Chain A
């Protein structure tokens, strides 16, 4: 089955710093979402981005489907950005999400 790898696995930032999170997938996908799982466990939708580039405030994302990767950019990080970031993909012939390995982010005040 498809492999979805995220990097880095862990990241510690000082408040105000910028970061790039990466999601690599081993096969073609029909759908890709980025989620933030907050410390209370809630999965929050960040981007629905099977291809192209989107921006929402301090966050932006780019998916290059032909090269099988997606990037999530966080600018001017805040302590509330702490948590785990997951990418999740849907492959051809299925409807289920396959989640990546996650990036655990901690932003220090």
Chain B
């Protein structure tokens, strides 16, 4: 079966541009997570959705970051007015249920480079 997919795989943006990153979770997975991974570091949590509800956005670094999942399936992470410090790999993960005991499955990530 298909895993988590993300697009684009690579994105180069000029400082100040807006970008949109897409995540397609595993079909039927209720929970969806976004993480940010800086070079040489482990992934860090950004935000969490249960179906279409954004239950935790405590990891979003600034109000320039916005995520949505309007129909409880595909999710988009939007970064407005990109800055160089936004350069990182953005990872999406999904899990089957709503319990914190569920296994998370990760997509291949989108590598964002801000010039």
**Partner-B contacts on A (CB < 8 A):** 30-31, 33, 35, 40-43, 45, 48, 50, 86, 88, 90, 94-102
Contacts and interface: CB of A to CB of B under 8 A. Distances in A.
A31 B45 contact: no
B17 to A, nearest CB: 23
A100 B42 CA distance: 7
Contacts of A101: 42
Interface string B50-89: 0000011001000000000000000000000000000001
B103 A96 contact: no
Interface in B76-115: 89, 91, 93, 100-106, 108-109, 111
B103 A98 contact: no
Query: What are the 7 tightest A-B residue pairs by CB atom distance, in nearest-first order?
Result: A99-B42, A96-B45, A43-B106, A48-B103, A95-B100, A90-B100, A30-B100
B18 interface: no
B104 A97 contact: yes
B42 A33 contact: no
A88 B101 CA distance: 12
Interface of B: 31, 33, 35, 42-45, 48, 55-56, 59, 89, 91, 93, 100-106, 108-109, 111
Contacts of A94: 56, 100
B42 A86 contact: yes
A58 to B, nearest CB: 21
B108 A42 contact: yes
B105 A45 contact: yes
Contacts of B44: 99
A99 B106 CA distance: 13
A24 B54 CA distance: 30
A41 B111 contact: yes
Contact of A95 (B31, B106, B111): B31
Contact of B48 (A41, A45, A86, A95): A95
B39 to A, nearest CB: 11
A41 B108 contact: yes
Contact of B55 (A90, A95, A99): A95
Nearest to A90: B100
